[in-house]
Amino acid sequence: MKKLMGAAILVGLASAPFESGATPSRAASMSPGAESTAARLLPEVFTVYVRGTIVVNHPVPGFEPRRLPTANVYQGEPGCYMACYSHIAQGAVYSVGGDIDVMGQVRVPGRYEGRICRPTGASSSASQIAALCGRWISTCGDRCWGGGDTGGWFGIQ
């Protein structure tokens, strides 16, 4: 897997197709285990649409399309996405407010509790998430930390 360029993360309703062609609504209606892991992976060049601090994953008039670097570092199950945040706006895809910007996201072993990714195992510590962000999201370097509020990409409320 190569290092990604750019920056960004999530908020909004899930309506964009995934690489496998499955949509979040279709995936959610399948019985457990019936859907392939690929159907739950976001594309590594994930387009989000931004207006101010509002970000959605489908086109909306007046919103600007931007590429959110997404590193599918972990492709097993269960897995979830950790957002890579920074206080330095340079290279960010969008701002979530309060001097916090989204640079990208990485997939780790874990589960969603509500819309929050709860990592498990060796990748669950704050320092491990920050290291993954620094390794896979090129705009992070050593200036990012992780946060799990990414379930909105899948329509989780």
> What would the pLDDT profile of 13-39 be if each residue is shown by its tens digit?
333 332 333 333 333 333 344 345 556
Model confidence band, residue 153 (pLDDT cutoffs 50, 70, 90):
confident
DSSP 21: S
Q: What angle do CA 81, 106, 54 make, to 5 degrees?
A: 65
The pLDDT of residue 36 is 54
Q: Which pLDDT tens digit goes with each residue over 67-76?
A: 999 999 999 9
- My answer on whether omega of the bond before 24 falls inside 30° of 0, hence cis, is no
Which backbone phi and psi does 76 adopt, to 5 degrees? Answer: -85, -175
DSSP 41: P
CB 68 within 8 Å of CB 48: yes
Average per-residue pLDDT for the chain = 80
Which backbone phi and psi does 4 adopt, to 5 degrees? Answer: -95, 150
Mean per-residue pLDDT for 147-155?
A: 90
Tokens of 16: 């964009």
CB 101 within 8 Å of CB 95: yes
- Amino acid in position 58: H
At 107 the three-state DSSP class reads strand
Which helix (H) or strand (E) segment holds residue 133: the answer is: helix 126-136
Q: How far is CA 23 from CA 2, 15, 46, in A?
A: 26, 7, 14
